[in-house]
């Protein structure tokens, strides 16, 4: 295989996230990703990966690779994106999260948390408090993600709400992050300010509505849309590259 | 009292309550007592950079082990209170009175 460029939006919520629009369903998201000329998408609902298999099935059917992930909220209220190649690792991580997530969702306040199939049909709901914070510290979360072979990326570090730097002042030393994410509101020029930590940057939509999908993206020069390739791009190994 | 037992002789005239470390970096002043629920090791670096007199963790929250280690290295007092931030700040403000006002 040879290296080629992949346009990626790695931070998309589905209708499982209580704050996301009901229209955020597999074929609709993939259709929008195709319209926006994305070569891969990352699915990251709050503290859950339950809609990932449906998203991956739709992505396979429609020709857009889907990275399965989660956006995990730490006890410090820092959001961390976790991505895995293999569903066993992804759901092992989900189990760790669920074991440390307390409370029940109240749809009237936070919104519905819909489980869907690959054809966009609602097949259930979860009553876990997905919008809540886990009891896990950010160091433990990143350690678990990396231990399971995943990618750990600090979400929207330019934002005050749930951003690593806002919550904890600076990127903690020794935290085994693969990269930092800046939000769609942060221009590539402004993002340069976050390069001082020695980590590569991604820029993503944090889509909660279909019209958000692909509004910004990250370009990877890799062989295939897989975790190991992205990790190499973040380290600049063997000609793999990442740019925002 | 968790760490920094021998550093309790510093005079504290004011305090600051915040759980956003970026806000503490921006607005806390040297010699302040910092009341927070954050137990991550970064609190020690922030407190040291800002010259904070001591950290008080509220609601009985215990510092992480790495936080304790770093606080020992920096000789920074960390105390734990069973009170909420509101009740603790209220009691301390009653003790310090107007001296605790910023302006």
Mutation target for A interface from B16, B18, B21, B63: give the one with most A CBs within 10 A. Answer: B21
Query: Per mean pLDDT, which range of A7-16, A137-146, A164-173 is the poorest?
Result: A164-173
Evaluate whether residue B26 is within a structural domain: yes
Q: Is A200 left (phi over 0), alpha (psi -120 to 50) or beta?
A: beta
Kindly report the nearest CA distance between residue A84 and chain B, in angstroms. 26
Helix axis angle, A26-35 to A52-62, nearest 10°: 50
Whether A160 contacts chain B with CB within 8 A: yes
- pLDDT tens by residue, A192-222: 999 989 999 999 999 999 999 999 999 999 9
Per-residue pLDDT of B62-82, as tens digits, reads 999 999 999 999 999 999 999
Residues in chain B, how many?
Answer: 103
The whole-number pLDDT of residue B98 equals 65
The whole-angstrom separation of Cα A184 and Cα A173 is 26
Q: How many CA atoms lie within 13 A of A78 on its CB side?
A: 35
Number of domains in chain B: 1
d(CA A199, CA B8): 39
Q: Which of B42, B64, B66 has its CB closest to that of A168?
A: B42
Choose among B20, B40, B46: nearest Cβ to A138: B40
Say which DSSP state A85 is in. S
Query: Is B103 a member of any domain?
Result: no
Dihedral over Cα of B50, B54, B55, B58: its sign: negative
Q: What is the pLDDT of residue A172?
A: 92
| Residues 6+ away with beta carbon under 8 Å from A140 | none
Average pLDDT over residues B24-32: 92
Q: Is A3 exposed, middle or buried (0-12, 13-18, 19+ CB in 10 A)?
A: middle
Cβ-nearest to A172 among B25, B39, B41: B41
Q: Which domain holds residue B25?
A: 5-97
Q: Which residue of B has its CA nearest to A76?
A: B38
Cα–Cα distances in Å, from A135 out to A48, A73, A89, A106, A112?
15, 9, 20, 20, 23
User: What pLDDT was estimated at residue B101?
Assistant: 62
Nearest-by-CA chain A residue for B47: A169
B15 belongs to a structural domain: yes
User: Where does A106-163 have alpha helices with state H?
Assistant: 107-110, 138-147
> Does the beta carbon of A169 lie under 8 angstroms from any beta carbon of chain B?
yes
Task: Single out the residue of A45, A92, A43, A37 nearest to residue A67, CA to CA.
Answer: A43
d(CA A110, CA A76): 20
| Both tokens assigned to A219 | 């370009």
Tell me if chain B has a CB within 8 Å of the CB of A165: yes
Using alpha carbons, list the distances in angstroms from residue B4 to A65, A107, B42, B72, B92.
Answer: 53, 46, 17, 6, 20
* Domain range annotation of chain A: 4-243
If you count DSSP H runs as helices and E runs as strands, how many of each does chain B have, helices first? 4, 4
Tell me which of A76, A159, A169, A170 to substitute to probe the interface with B (most B C-beta atoms closer than 10 Å): A169
Please determine, for residue B96, whether its predicted confidence score (pLDDT) is greater than 90.
Answer: no
Q: What is the pTM of this model?
A: 0.91
Rounded-to-integer distance, Cα B52 and Cα A58, Å: 54
Q: Which of A160, A166, A168 sits opposite B40 (nearest CB)?
A: A168
CB burial readout A68-92, b (16+ within 10 A) else e: bbbbbbbbbbbbbbbbbbeeebbbb
Give how far A160 is from chain B: nearest CA, Å. 9
Q: Does the distance separating the beta carbons of A139 and B45 come in below 8 Å?
A: no
pLDDT tens digits along A25-58: 999 999 999 999 999 999 999 999 999 999 999 9
Residues 31-90 of A with CB under 8 A from B: 75-76
Is B86 part of any domain?
Answer: yes
Count Cα neighbours of B18 within 13 Å in the Cβ-side half-sphere. 20
Is A167 in Cβ contact with B64 (below 8 Å)?
A: no
- What DSSP character marks residue A173? T
DSSP structure class, residue A183: -
Cβ proximity of A181 and A156 under 8 Å: yes
In this prediction, residues B38-57 reach a mean pLDDT of 94
Q: Cβ contacts (< 8 Å) between A160 and chain B: which residues?
A: 20, 22
CA distance A193 to chain B (A): 15
Task: For residue A9, give both structure tokens.
Answer: 């939006």
Domain of residue B55, CATH code: 3.40.1390.20
**Residues with Cβ within 8 Å of residue A240, at least 6 apart in sequence:** A3, A220, A221, A222, A223, A229, A232, A233
Q: A5 to each of A195, A204, A219, A223, B6, how far by Cα in Å?
A: 22, 16, 6, 8, 59
**How much is the pLDDT for A24?**
98
* Predicted local distance difference test score (pLDDT) of residue A1: 72
Nearest CB neighbour to A167, from listed B21, B39, B66: B21
Chain B positions contacting chain A at CB under 8 Å are 19-22, 24-25, 38-42, 45-46, 64, 66
**Which residues lie below 8 Å from residue A213, measured CB to CB, with a gap of 6+?**
A9, A12, A29, A32, A33, A36, A38, A41, A205, A207
Q: Look up the CATH superfamily of A4-243.
A: Metal-dependent hydrolases (3.20.20.140)
Residue-wise pLDDT for A71-106, tens only, equals 999 999 999 999 999 999 999 999 999 999 999 998
């Amino acid at each position: 295989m040879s290296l080629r460029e992949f346009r990626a939006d790695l931070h998309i919520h589905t209708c499982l996230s209580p704050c996301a629009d009901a229209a955020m369903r597999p074929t609709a998201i993939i259709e929008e990703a195709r319209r926006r000329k994305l070569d891969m998408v990352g699915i990251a609902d709050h503290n859950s990966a339950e809609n990932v298999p449906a998203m991956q099935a739709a992505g396979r059917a429609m020709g857009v690779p889907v990275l399965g992930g989660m956006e995990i909220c730490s006890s410090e209220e820092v959001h961390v994106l976790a991505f895995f190649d293999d569903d066993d690792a992804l759901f092992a991580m989900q189990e760790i999260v669920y074991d440390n997530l307390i409370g029940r969702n109240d749809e009237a306040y936070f919104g519905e948390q819909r489980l869907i199939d690959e054809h966009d049909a609602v097949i259930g709901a979860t009553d876990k408090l997905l919008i809540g914070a886990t009891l896990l510290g950010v160091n433990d979360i990143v350690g678990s993600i990396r231990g399971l072979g995943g990618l750990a990326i600090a979400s929207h570090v330019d934002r005050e709400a749930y951003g690593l730097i806002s919550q904890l002042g600076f990127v903690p030393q020794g935290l085994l992050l693969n990269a930092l994410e800046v939000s769609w509101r942060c221009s590539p020029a402004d993002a340069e300010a976050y390069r001082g930590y020695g980590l590569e940057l991604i820029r993503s939509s944090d889509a909660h509505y279909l019209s958000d999908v692909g509004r910004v993206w990250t370009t990877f020069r890799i062989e295939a849309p897989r975790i190991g390739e992205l990790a190499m791009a973040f380290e600049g190994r063997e000609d793999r590259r990442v740019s925002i | 009292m968790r760490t920094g037992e021998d550093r309790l002789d510093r005079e504290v005239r004011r305090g600051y309550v915040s759980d956003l470390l970026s806000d503490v970096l921006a607005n806390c002043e040297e010699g302040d007592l910092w009341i927070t629920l954050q137990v991550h090791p970064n609190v020690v670096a922030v407190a040291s950079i800002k010259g904070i007199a001591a950290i008080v963790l509220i609601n009985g929250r215990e510092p992480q082990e790495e936080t304790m280690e770093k606080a020992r290295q920096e000789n920074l007092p960390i105390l734990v209170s069973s009170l909420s931030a509101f009740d603790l700040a209220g009691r301390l403000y009653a003790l310090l009175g107007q001296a605790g006002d910023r302006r």
